[in-house]
Amino acid sequence: MLTKAELHVHLEGTAPPELVSRIAARNGLELPRQMLSSDGRFHYTDFLHFLRTYDLAASVIRTGEDYRDITYEYLCSCADGGAIYVELTASPDHAALVGMSDEEHWDGIARGIDDARRDTGIEGRILVSAVRNFGVEQALRVARHAAERPHPYVVGFSMAGDEAGFPAQDFAEVYLVAAEAGLGCTIHAGEWAGADSVRAALELPVTRISHGVRSIEDPAVVSELAARGIVLECCPTSNVVLGVYDSYEEHPLPALRDAGVRVTLGSDDPPYFGASIEGEYGICSARFGWGEDELREITRTAIEAAFCDEELKAGLRKLV
């Protein structure tokens, strides 16, 4: 099977309804009403509604053990699909909202990574992510905690949430804190705002952009991405399901790649979108006509752009 690697997936967003329900039950909590539709799937009508549903699901995740199980189950499913490495974007803001310390949060995820490695051989690392619509002060808290208390598996910093309402330039200090602590940096941009949002993100100390696909709206931004070797973590299924693009055929991933931009794949929030990392590779094959060479290149790019250390990268390269 072709080896795969994933750099863009939100950990709380990997838990399917069945797992969220199991976790709620063992924590003695009712499932939040409005979280699921009558067919048992996560319910949302647009992007901002999706973010609120995500918050509802995250609100029943209460313990390090919950995070262990979510991590373990997700990584095992990725390994089944041929993945050898996954960077999990975790949200200390969501953990803090339910009273969990960053240490319990990270240690729970780390146990999930260790257990999944033991059982399948897959490797994982953690990116901490601030939610931009929680504001700059809160984002600074997330970055400072990660900077002040290094954890061997926390290798990067990201920002998710409402890109259009909370522009990248407001978070310059946050990114300085993260970058100076040696964390690899990425940020959601060019998903719910256009190429100017990517241009602003490129002023931050980032080597990757989460999504970034709407760069295609400005050839100068595309040229800058290509010239600087910035890697886009593309999630075509997320973009089509949430309505950034009406169809895979309209998705700019092939055009960006043809323009010399380095691209990788991610499932973003798999059960919300009916996505998986294996599925995203399959989409590129079925919809964009990519063969094994192109897909292997995606995996190689992901390994080069990963925020883990060189020793781990060297081991991963041998598996591709």
Q: Which residues bind ligand ADE (CB under 6 A)?
A: 10, 13, 54, 160-161, 188, 191, 238, 268-269
Q: Which is nearer to ligand ADE, 238 or 301 (CB)?
A: 238
Report d(CA 307, CA 126) in Å as an integer: 9
- Using CB under 5 A, pick the residue from 268, 272, 298, 302 that binds Zn ion: 268
Buried/exposed 252-281: b ≥16 CB within 10 Å, e otherwise: bbbebbeeebbbbbbbbbbbbbebbbbbbb
Q: In 3-state terms, what secondary structure has residue 233?
A: strand
Q: Which is nearer to ligand ADE, 84 or 105 (CB)?
A: 105
Closest separation in Å from C-beta 268 to ligand ADE: 5
Q: Which is nearer to Zn ion, 24 or 280 (CB)?
A: 280
Whether the Cβ atoms of residue 186 and residue 158 lie closer than 8 Å to each other: yes
Q: In what order do the strands lie in the sheet with 123-131?
A: 4-6, 83-90, 123-131, 154-160, 184-185
Continuous segment of H or E residues that includes residue 216? none
Closest separation in Å from C-beta 231 to Zn ion: 15
CB-nearest residue to ligand ADE: 160
Q: Is 191 annotated in the active site? A: yes
Q: Where are the beta strands (DSSP E) in the chain?
A: 4-6, 83-90, 123-131, 154-160, 184-185, 188-189, 208-211, 231-234, 262-265
Question: 212: phi > 0 → left, psi -120 to 50 → alpha, else beta; which?
Answer: left
Regarding 93 and contact with Zn ion (CB under 5 A), the answer is no
User: Residue 161 touches which of Zn ion, ligand ADE, none (CB < 5 to 8 A by kind)?
Assistant: ligand ADE
Closest separation in Å from C-beta 17 to ligand ADE: 16
The active-site residue, picked from 12, 123, 163, 191, is: 191
Q: How many CB atoms lie within 10 A of CB 195?
A: 20
Closest separation in Å from C-beta 269 to Zn ion: 7
Q: Which is nearer to ligand ADE, 141 or 188 (CB)?
A: 188
How many residues bind Zn ion (CB under 5 A)? The answer is 1
CB-nearest residue to Zn ion: 268
Q: Which is nearer to ligand ADE, 42 or 54 (CB)?
A: 54
Closest separation in Å from C-beta 146 to ligand ADE: 18
User: Residue 54 touches which of ligand ADE, Zn ion, none (CB < 5 to 8 A by kind)?
Assistant: ligand ADE
Report d(CA 303, CA 298) in Å as an integer: 9
Residues with active-site annotation: 191
